[in-house]
Amino acid sequence: MTKIDAKYIFVTLKRGFAVIQSLPGFKDILPNETRKWQFVENICRDIFESFAYQEIRVPILEKAQLFSRSVGNDTDIVQKEMYTFKDKSDQFVTLRPEGTACVVRALIQHHLIHEGMHKFYYIAPMFRYERPQRGRFREFHHLGVEAFGESSPYVDAEIMEMNAEILKRLNMDVRVEINNIGCRKCRPSYTKVLREYLMGKKELLCEDCQRRLDTNPLRILDCKKESCKKITAFAPSILDYSCDECRNHFNEVQRLLTKMNIDFVVNEKIVRGLDYYTKFVFEVISDKLGAQGTVSAGGRYNDLVEDLGGSPTPACGFAAGEERVIELFDYKEDDKFVDAVVIPVGKDTSDFSFLLTGDLRKEGFKVEFISSGSLKSALRKANKWKAKWVLIIGDEEIKENTVSLRDLEKSVQKKVRVEDIISVIRQGLDE
Ligand code: ATP
Ligand code: MG
């Protein structure tokens, strides 16, 4: 008989019903992986909070126009990737593809700056209808921060310092690429030159980029197609068209990065996949992730708050893709999730064992109570869960006010008086 690997059975038939599978690009994060996720999230939380960022939680669903007005009508995200649909009251809503626009909406709606809140972080799922592949999912998670109200390069430097700190704490080998994409004053002159340069090569560009030539030529620099990349490789540099203000800002950020010993290279082709950026932008890239090499990205967006109806407020932020961070970060898996297992074996020992389990939990131990089955199967479970301690309680133990305490790591077992259990577990059993 041919052996069929369960992995390749996409839809299994069971009692005549198709077993429902998750959607393509949507992943379950199972208990043997969540520990790694928690580890990464705790490190990021620690770092964000040490830089005085506060957590914000915004809705997953927003009005569709929030993203077309901020991310930009001509971006891949808005053109192709958004989960947009009409809800039951006939309004277009979108599963958020990114967090910045949502945080800006909340900032304006709740007058957060007046309330003394100006630096935010979030660890949250995002949704984009992309082709699922390594490092690219339809539901993925951003570890993101947004800082409002400061145009000083120290904020940009702080954003980079947080990135460097995350990379250091997770021991990841990456490179940092930065660029200056100018502002509304200086960018139009570059856009004009870029359009003129690309006009002569229009027929060599992909269909999307041919359209972008009219609507938003800068987007062409972000095209992932090799044929377009070949053409843009020799395009004029945006850095040559920068105004003094943008150039000074960029120089200052570079000076601070050097002072902080953060290595970087300037890549004048980085424009980011979203329209709202101004001045400083960056990407943190790994060579170990295949085609999806960008782990973290962000920059300044000085006009977005005003564009979404708020008062002019400079801002800067970034988001790291948690799935890509998780893939890069080498975590020593520890599948131990209980310290002790309590097993009642006598006729009338369950209530006592159950209450003792509660006492141990209150002392901070992770404890599982096994309420049924044989001693043999309970011990098998304790081994599988890598518990150090097993507490076996039979009729005899109840009579003697003791517990048979077994150390599974050292393979020793002793009877211990009930009142001594906690201190013995803390100190260890004598052999
Ligand atoms: P890419 O060029 O890889 O499409 P992007 O420019 O669309 O990235 P951003 O919108 O800046 O990405 O999001 C920041 C980070 O979020 C990316 O650098 C990446 O790590 C992660 N990310 C973006 N899209 C996805 C996705 N579909 N699946 C997993 N991670 C993603
Ligand atoms: Mg993308």
pLDDT digits (tens, 9 = 90+) for 354-369: 999 999 999 999 999 9
Using the 3D structure, point to which of 328, 354, 383 is the last residue of a domain: 328
Q: Are residues 53 and 139 in the same domain?
A: yes
- Please indicate, yes or no, if residue 324 is contained in any of the structural domains: yes
136 lines ligand 1 (CB under 6 A): yes
For tokens 């649909």, the residue is 85
Single pTM value for the model: 0.89
- Please indicate, yes or no, if residue 228 is contained in any of the structural domains: no
Q: Which two tokens stand for residue 319?
A: 């988001």
Q: Are residues 102 and 249 in the same domain?
A: yes
Q: Are residues 78 and 109 in the same domain?
A: yes
CATH of the domain at 404: 3.40.50.800
Nearest residue (CA) to ligand 1, atom 11: 297
Beta partners for residue 402, in sequence order: 417
Specify the pLDDT at position 17.
75
285 within 8 A of 175, measured Cβ to Cβ: yes
219 lines ligand 1 (CB under 6 A): no
pLDDT digits (tens, 9 = 90+) for 394-407: 999 999 999 999 99
Q: Which of 142, 140, 116, 145 is nearest to 128 (CA)?
A: 140
Q: Are residues 319 and 345 in the same domain?
A: no
CATH of the domain at 293: 3.30.930.10
Specify the pLDDT at position 2.
42
CB atoms within 10 A of CB 171: 10
Using the 3D structure, point to which of 276, 296, 328 is the last residue of a domain: 328
Instruction: Give the residue, 177 or 337, on which the prediction is more confident.
Output: 177
pLDDT digits (tens, 9 = 90+) for 285-302: 999 888 889 999 999 999
- Please indicate, yes or no, if residue 395 is contained in any of the structural domains: yes
345 within 8 A of 392, measured Cβ to Cβ: yes
292 lines ligand 1 (CB under 6 A): yes
Beta partners for residue 180, in sequence order: 280
User: pLDDT at residue 376 above 60?
Assistant: yes
Provide mean pLDDT across the span 4-14: 51
Q: Are residues 172 and 302 in the same domain?
A: yes
Nearest residue (CA) to ligand 1, atom 7: 273
273 lines ligand 1 (CB under 6 A): yes
309 within 8 A of 111, measured Cβ to Cβ: no
3 state SS for the chain? CCCCCHHHCCCCEECCEECCCCCCCCCCCCHHHHHHHHHHHHHHHHHHHHCCCEECCCCCEEEHHHHHHHCCCCCHHHHHHCEEEECCCCCEEEECCCCHHHHHHHHHHCCCCCCCCCEEEEEEEEECCCCCECCECCEEEEEEEEEECCCCHHHHHHHHHHHHHHHHHCCCCCEEEEEECCCCCCHHHHHHHHHHHHHCCHHHCCHHHHHHHHHCHHHHHHCCCHHHHHHHCCCCCHHHHCCHHHHHHHHHHHHHHHHCCCCCEECCCCCCCCCCCEEEEEEEECHHHCCCCEEEEEEECCCHHHHCCCCCCCEEEEEEEHHHHHHHCCCCCCCCCCCEEEEECCCCCHHHHHHHHHHHHHCCCCEEECCCCCHHHHHHHHHHCCCCEEEEECHHHHHHCEEEEEECCCCEEEEEEHHHHHHHHHHCCCC
What sign does the CA torsion over 152, 158, 163, 164 have?
positive
User: pLDDT at residue 127 above 50?
Assistant: yes
415 within 8 A of 426, measured Cβ to Cβ: no
Provide mean pLDDT across the span 203-231: 91
- Please indicate, yes or no, if residue 9 is contained in any of the structural domains: no
Lowest mean pLDDT among 24-33, 216-225, 319-328: 216-225
Nearest residue (CA) to ligand 1, atom 21: 321
Containing domain of residue 123, as a range? 31-186+242-328
User: pLDDT at residue 4 above 70?
Assistant: no
Q: Are residues 262 and 346 in the same domain?
A: no
Using the 3D structure, point to which of 328, 360, 391 is the last residue of a domain: 328
User: pLDDT at residue 7 above 70?
Assistant: no
Q: What ligand is nearest to the CA atom of residue 27?
A: 1
What sign does the CA torsion over 179, 185, 191, 193 have?
negative
User: pLDDT at residue 1 above 60?
Assistant: no
59 CA from centroid of ligand 2 (Å): 21
Specify the pLDDT at position 351.
96
Q: Are residues 256 and 345 in the same domain?
A: no
What is the chain's mean pLDDT, rounded? 93
251 CA from centroid of ligand 2 (Å): 28
Q: Which two tokens stand for residue 195?
A: 């359009």
| pLDDT band at residue 6 under the 50/70/90 scheme | low
Specify the pLDDT at position 76.
87
Instruction: Give the residue, 271 or 356, on which the prediction is more confident.
Output: 356
Q: Which of ligand 1's atoms lies nearest the C-alpha of 130?
A: 27
- Please indicate, yes or no, if residue 72 is contained in any of the structural domains: yes
Q: Are residues 421 and 281 in the same domain?
A: no
Q: Are residues 348 and 324 in the same domain?
A: no
Among 172, 285, 294, 324, say which to mutate for ligand 1: greatest number of ligand atoms within 8 Å of CB.
294
Specify the pLDDT at position 14.
56
Specify the pLDDT at position 375.
95
- Please indicate, yes or no, if residue 269 is contained in any of the structural domains: yes
68 within 8 A of 78, measured Cβ to Cβ: yes
Q: Are residues 256 and 282 in the same domain?
A: yes
Q: Which of ligand 1's atoms lies nearest the C-alpha of 97?
A: 10
- Please indicate, yes or no, if residue 391 is contained in any of the structural domains: yes
Q: Are residues 319 and 358 in the same domain?
A: no
139 within 8 A of 124, measured Cβ to Cβ: no
For tokens 């001509």, the residue is 74
pLDDT digits (tens, 9 = 90+) for 227-270: 999 999 999 999 999 999 999 999 999 999 999 999 999 999 99
73 CA from centroid of ligand 2 (Å): 14
CA distance 366 to 380: 18
User: pLDDT at residue 136 above 60?
Assistant: yes
* DSSP-derived pairing of the beta strands 278-285 and 175-180: antiparallel
Provide mean pLDDT across the span 399-419: 96
Q: Which two tokens stand for residue 153?
A: 């390069």
Instruction: Give the residue, 228 or 431, on which the prediction is more confident.
Output: 228
Specify the pLDDT at position 22.
97
54 within 8 A of 147, measured Cβ to Cβ: no
Specify the pLDDT at position 347.
85
Nearest residue (CA) to ligand 1, atom 6: 273
Side chain identity at 429, as an amino acid letter? L
- Please indicate, yes or no, if residue 192 is contained in any of the structural domains: no
How many structural domains compose the chain?
2
163 lines ligand 1 (CB under 6 A): no
Q: Are residues 259 and 388 in the same domain?
A: no
Share of the chain above pLDDT 90, in %: 84
29 within 8 A of 95, measured Cβ to Cβ: no
Q: What ligand is nearest to the CA atom of residue 319?
A: 1
Q: Which of ligand 1's atoms lies nearest the C-alpha of 294?
A: 18
The Cα diameter of the chain in Å comes to 94
Provide mean pLDDT across the span 168-174: 90
97 within 8 A of 91, measured Cβ to Cβ: no
Provide mean pLDDT across the span 139-161: 98
